[in-house]
Structure 1
C-alpha cells in the first residue's frame, strides 16, 4: 500500500495523545456525590462493567484514526487491462527444434502454445511473428489479424542454426515500424517481445547486444527455454536448452525467463504470459473505503454511547 499524502500519516500520532488526555481528564474530574442516595436508583443507573463504559470512546478514537488514514489518500496496486499493446512472438525454428523430448516434438509444442496465446490476448492488441534459425525473418508484422498470424505459425519448419540476437533485433524493428517512439529517448510504449528458443546462439548478432538495444527502447523480452537437458536429435546429436543464456536476456531487458520441459508447461507459460502482458500495474486510490469505514465506526460510537448511557426509570 502507498499513500498520495504520506506526511499526513503523522497526524495519527495525535490519536494516542487524545486518548491519554481523555483518560487524564476523567481521573482528574471529581466524582459527583449524592447525599442520602437511593441505592435502588443508583443500581438502575449503573452503566455496566467498566470495560463497556469505555467502548464509545474507543470506537470514536478508531474513527478518528480512520479519518486521518483517509486524509493520507491510501492507494492499492491492481492490474488493469492495457488499452493497447504490441507483442512480437519470436519462435526458434532451428534444426534442434525437431527434438522429440517434448511431445510430439519441440516446434509443434511451441506452435500449439503460440496459437493459443494469440487467440487469448485481447483482439485490440497487435501481435506479430518472427521466425529465426541462422537468420531472422519477420513473417507477420504487428497486426490484429489473428487469421494471418495463425497461418504463419502453422507454416513453421525446423531447420538451420540459432540466432537469438537477430530475432530480438528483427522484433524491435517490426515494433518500431508500427508505432512512434513514446519519448525523446526512443523508448517504445506498451511493447513486448516473447522469445521461445531451445539452444545457444551460434550465429549472428550477440544476444546481449540485442538485449541492450531492447532495454534502451523500453521493451522487456520474455524468454521461454524449451526442452530437457537430455534432448537429442534423431541422429543422436545432444541438444540441451540454453537456460542461462535466455535468462540473461530477460534480466537485461526487465522481462521474465521461463523453462518448459513438456508440452503442457509450454502452454501454461504462454497462458501466464497472455494475462501478464495484457495487464499493467496501476495504483487505485481507496480513500473512499477508508473514510466509509471511519464513518461507520463513528456511528457505532454514537450507538454505543446511547445504549450504554445511564438511565433512570
Structure 2
C-alpha cells in the first residue's frame, strides 16, 4: 500500500493519545466510584460483570478514528476492478489448414465453438468485431453488441488459401481506429500480397497521433487465432509494432500442430507449421500473452481465461473511500452496541 499524502500519517499519533485518555478516564471513574456508600452502586459504576463488554464500543470507535486518519493520507492499492475494455476484435484464421482434424471435430469447428462460448461469457456492454483472414484479411463483422450477428458471421466462415497474420492485425487496428486512415485496400493489393511489403511504405495517416506505451490503450484489444505461419502479406512483427505504438494489446492463440504436418484435401496438399516464436513475439511486443491450444478443450480453456482477463483488471487505485466507509460502519456499530448495552452512546 502506498499513500498520495503520506505526511498525513503523522495524525495517527492521535490514536495512542486517545488510548491514554481512555485509560485515564477509567481510572478517574474508579476513584469516583469508591465515594459511594452502596457496594452495588460501586460495582455498577465500575462495570462489574461487564468488564470486557464495556470496552468493545470504545475499541470500535478507536478503530474508526484510525481508519479515518489513514484515509486522510489517500492510500492506494492494487485491486481487481471491472475492465474498461469496450471493444474486442476477434481475428480468426480461415486458411485451408483449419480443415485439419487433429483438433476434433476440426480446427475450424473447434475455433468457431470456442469463439461462440467466449461471446456468451463477455458482458453485454462489450462490443465485439470479427476479422477473418487467410491470404487476405477482411472485416466479417463490424464491432457490435449483437451476439446474434456475431454468431452468424462466425458461421459464415469460408476456407481460403495462404495465411496473412500481419494483415489480420492491421485490419483489426483499422477497425478500432477508423479515423486514422489506415488503408485497408492497400494492404490487400494482389501484387503486394504476393511479395509482402513494409507498413511504413503503405501507411497513409489522415489524423495525427502520438505513439503511446504498449498495452496502455484500455478501450480495445485484439485476439488473434491461427494454426499456421505467415505465408504472405504484412510482416506480423511490423503489424505488432503498429499495435504497440497505439497501446493495443494483441493476444495470440496458436491451435494445431507445433512441429508441422502435411494436410491434404480436394486434390492438393500443403505443409503447415504453427509459428509459435512469431506469435509469442507479437504478444510480447504488445504487452499481451500467447496461448497454445492443442485440443478443442484446451481452446475453450484459453477463451475462458481470456474472457476473465478482459472483463476484469488489476490496477492501482485510491482506496480512501473504502476506508472512510469502514470508519463510518465501525462508528455506527460502536454507537449501536453502546445504546443496546448501556443505554448511552459511548
TM-score with structure 2 setting the length:
0.68
Shift of 1:233: 3.9
- Answer yes or no: is 1:173 the counterpart of 2:182: no
Alpha-carbon offset, residue 106 of structure 1: 0.8
Cα deviation digits, residues 111-141 of structure 1 (max 9, x gap):
2222333455455544332222233233333
Alignment of 1:244 with 2:245, yes or no, is no
Mapped to 2, the partners of 1:209 and 1:220 lie a distance apart of 14
Cα separation, 2, equivalents of 1:40 and 1:148: 81
Displacement, 1:61? 2.7
2:189 equivalent to 1:164? no
1:90 deviation in Å?
1.0
CA distance in 1, matches of 2:70, 2:334: 14
User: Counterpart in 2 of 1:19?
Assistant: 19
Closer, same or farther: CA 299–71 of 1 in aligned 2, 3 Å: farther
Q: Secondary structure at the match of 2:261?
A: coil
Q: Following TM superposition, by how much is the alpha carbon of 1:91 offset from its aligned partner in structure 2, in angstroms?
A: 0.9
5+ long unaligned stretches in structure 2: 182-205
**Which residue of structure 2 lines up, in the alignment, with residue 269 of structure 1?**
302
Name which of 237, 250, 255 aligns with 1:226.
255
Verify: 1:299 aligned to 2:335, yes or no: yes
CA distance in 1 between partners of 2:71 and 2:123 (Å): 36
Between the aligned partners of 2:44 and 2:125, the Cα distance in structure 1 is 72
Contact 2:240/2:285 (8 A) holds in 1: yes
Distance 1:132 1:286, change over 3 A: same
Residues 161-213 of structure 1, C-alpha deviations (whole Å, 9 max, x = no match): 32211210111112222799999537777222110012232333222211111
- Give CA deviations for 1:21-49 in whole Å, capped at 9, x if unaligned: 665897899957969x8878766765448
2:218 is the counterpart of 1:193: no
1:85-117: per-residue Cα shift (whole Å, max 9, x none)?
Answer: 232221112333222221011112112222333
Q: Is the alpha carbon distance of 1:161 and 1:5 closer, same or farther for their aligned partners in structure 2, counting shifts above 3 Å?
A: same
Cα RMSD between the aligned structures? 4.3
Cα separation, 2, equivalents of 1:33 and 1:3: 46
For residues 120 and 29 of structure 1, the distance between their equivalents in structure 2, rounded to whole angstroms, comes to 62
Report if the CA contact (8 A) 1:195-1:221 is conserved: yes
Distance 2:101 2:260 in 1: 7
- 2:322 is matched with 286
1:51 deviates by 6.6
Change (3 A) 1:46 1:19: closer
User: Could you tell me how far 1:288 is from its partner in structure 2?
Assistant: 4.7
- 1:57-80 alpha-carbon deviations (Å, 9 max, x no partner): 544432321332344456774533
- Relative to the length of structure 1, the TM-score reads 0.74
User: Compared with structure 1, are the counterparts of its residues 54 and 267 closer, same or farther at alpha carbon in structure 2 (3 Å cutoff)?
Assistant: closer
Q: Structure 1 stretches of 5 or more lacking a match? A: 308-313
Shift of 1:6: 5.2
Q: Which has the higher contact order (CA 8 A, sep 6+)?
A: 1
